[in-house]
Copies of this chain bind each other. A is one copy, B any other.
Amino acid sequence: MAWDIALVGIGKIARDQHIPAIAGNPDFTLAATSSRNATVDGAEAFKSLPELLEARPDISCISLCTPPQVRYADARAALEAGRHVMLEKPPGATLSEVHDLQALAEAKGVSLYATWHSRHAAAVELARNWLADKAIRKVEVIWKEDVRRWHPGQEWIWEPGGLGVFDPGINGLSVLTAIYPRPIHLTDASLTFPENRQTPIAADLTFRDPAGAEMSAVFDWRQEGEQTWAIHVTTDEGEAKLTEGGARFFVGDEEQPTGETASAALGGEYPSLYARFAELVPGSTIDVDLSPMTHVSDAFTLGRRLTTDPFEF
């Protein structure tokens, strides 16, 4: 028996990832959508979430993939209406609003799931298990991609709250915080802003591991040619690297097989996210880990600001 689910925000990420993942999951049926302009074949189309919530009290689950700047009002409306809610990353525009949603979900006795899709990449589990008993000396997070290729025309990422290069960078931080055996915290940051934009196009971060490893992250949205989403680790038992956004894991030069990981068995990041949501809903469980977003907020608060050439798509 499947739950009816509604998808809010029918843009690129909905079509590329959410709709196929829901279609492939026997626990969910895509019953409705909310979008100003777009519709999805086979799902009842609404122009706004309040209309949807009123017309379809039978839909128990709501998945939000609108931009973070506008997500709170919909998330609150869905929770107020007693629906289970799943949030795309980052879970909101501010930490405080997510605290508020979490308190509301607890009060209403429904699930709230702040997803971090990159944590469900096929090899992340291998890296976490391998690192668990290692003495770690050095960690480098390298997240370099071409914004024109991955975010064509998405103006909202350059608006305040859109996070700029931290929109992909937070994926790297979500993986780092998932595989690392201890909490870490930012100590230094440099953020490079195009002179005509409100969010950074590049960032250099330094973290402190209380156990002493040297830790850095570099994010850059100006990377043409080869794209890099990798975490390199040096330990007392050699080097390892997680590459392609978490899809592949190497110890030394030897690739580790991902066939056995839970995420690989489920068919990838978004299928794994919906499988997790299906675990949370029956117990109205809350799964909200704000550590990746907290590191981003810390970088904006602590960061030195540099200015570079204007950016146009």
Contact = CB atoms under 8 A, between A and B. Distances in A.
A294 B160 contact: no
Given A96-B186, A184-B96, A305-B198, A297 B295 contact: no
Nearest to A185: B96
Interface residues of A, number: 36
A39 interface: no
A167 interface: no
A294 B95 contact: yes
Contacts of A295: 96
B94 A301 contact: yes
Contacts of A248: none
Count of identical protomers in the assembly: 2
A241 to B, nearest CB: 24
A307 to B, nearest CB: 10
Given A100-B185, A183-B100, A160 B95 contact: no
A144 to B, nearest CB: 22
A185 B297 CA distance: 14
Interface string A102-137: 010000000000000000000000000000000000
A198 B76 CA distance: 35
A297 B95 contact: yes
A160 B186 contact: no
A298 B183 contact: no
A291 interface: yes
A93 to B, nearest CB: 6
A35 B289 CA distance: 38
A273 interface: no
A161 interface: yes
Nearest to A93: B302
A298 B290 CA distance: 13
A96 B291 contact: yes
Contact of A210 (B100, B185, B188, B305): B100
A189 interface: yes
A128 B198 CA distance: 37
A160 B304 contact: yes
A82 interface: no
Most B-side CB within 10 Å, residue of A94, A186, A303 = A94
A250 interface: no
B304 A76 contact: no
A3 interface: no
A99 interface: yes
B76 A210 contact: yes
Contact of A103 (B95, B183, B186): B183
Most B-side CB within 10 Å, residue of A160, A163, A183, A188 = A160
Interface in A262-313: 291, 294-298, 300-305
A97 interface: yes
A28 B158 CA distance: 52
Task: In the A-B complex, list the 9 residue pairs whose CB atoms are closest, starting with the nearest.
Answer: A96-B185, A94-B298, A297-B297, A97-B185, A300-B301, A300-B300, A161-B302, A160-B304, A297-B301
